[in-house]
Amino acid sequence: MKSVIYETKGRAREFSELALNHYQGCGHGCVYCYGPDVTHSDPEEFKHHPRQRVTADEVEESASKYEKAGETRPVLLSFITDAYQPLDVELKFTREVIEILHRHNLRVTILTKGGKRSLRDFDLLEPGDAYATTLTLLDADESRIWEPLAAPPDERIETLRIARAMGIPTWVSLEPVIYPADTFELIERTHTFVSHYKVGKMNYHPRNLEIDWQSFAREVIDILERFQCTYYIKKDLAWYLGKDKGFWRGRIGE
């Protein structure tokens, strides 16, 4: 049986070296979503008919193999779906997946736009786990246009704040960048309770061609440096600064 926990490649590896996509599709309906392209899925099916992709037994078997191999790297939930999309309110499968991974001594990183839907599982997160959210926009109405069923920006920010108050390490994915001014303001509003930022650009959408990425890259770094944030500039954005791979503040990323 093919392992449902897998080694990531390409852009995905800048988020995590290991990932698990326990759902197929995502009901958030984001207009910039790369999921259908990456999975060669019908976009309408991907957005409107998400489903559970793997069984608990498959997760168990895969986690057992990684445990026996002495794995210490965290497993990202998730790269091409969302662990706390609306479907999970009904299925609650994400909680079961976390419990299985922990039973096999595997660490978990959550990356979600689900906001307060994820709060119910915070009691499971242990030292070595992390909680992250994607922040793109400031205005709730604008967010509903771009990310129709994702949690609104203020809710995602508040959930990050709660996680940090509970001692859970937090980070933010600033990708895709839709309006650079929003990205700058999001850093200003969150830097006191976010451990680090991963900054990318816009891909898979025509908006990509409307932004001066070199100017954005320089300005976002200036802001992150001013607040003394730890950050990672992803490869696609780092290219505009003359670099051939992504980099962390103070060191070159792997």
pLDDT in tens, 70-95: 999 999 999 999 999 999 999 999 99
User: DSSP string covering 4-45, please?
Assistant: SEEE--GGGGGT-SEEE--EES-TT--TT--HHHHHT--HHH
Structure tokens at 243: 């670099």
Residue 219 has pLDDT above 80, yes or no: yes
Sort strands 108-112 and 75-77 into parallel, antiparallel or unpaired. Answer: parallel
Mean pLDDT of the chain: 95
| pLDDT confidence of residue 218 | 97
Question: Which H helix or E strand runs over 77?
Answer: strand 75-77
Q: What is the pTM of this model?
A: 0.94
**Phi then psi for 5, rounded to 5 degrees?**
-85, 130
Structure tokens at 216: 């954005």
Residue 253 has pLDDT above 70, yes or no: no
Where do the domains of the chain lie, and which CATH numbers do they carry? 5-252 (3.20.20.70)
pLDDT band of residue 16 (cuts 50, 70, 90) is: very high
**CA dist list (Å): 63 to 16, 54, 102:** 16, 13, 9
**Phi then psi for 187, rounded to 5 degrees?**
-65, -45
Residues linked to residue 247 through DSSP beta bridges, in sequence order: 233, 252
Mean pLDDT (whole number) for 235-245: 96
Residue 251 has pLDDT above 60, yes or no: no
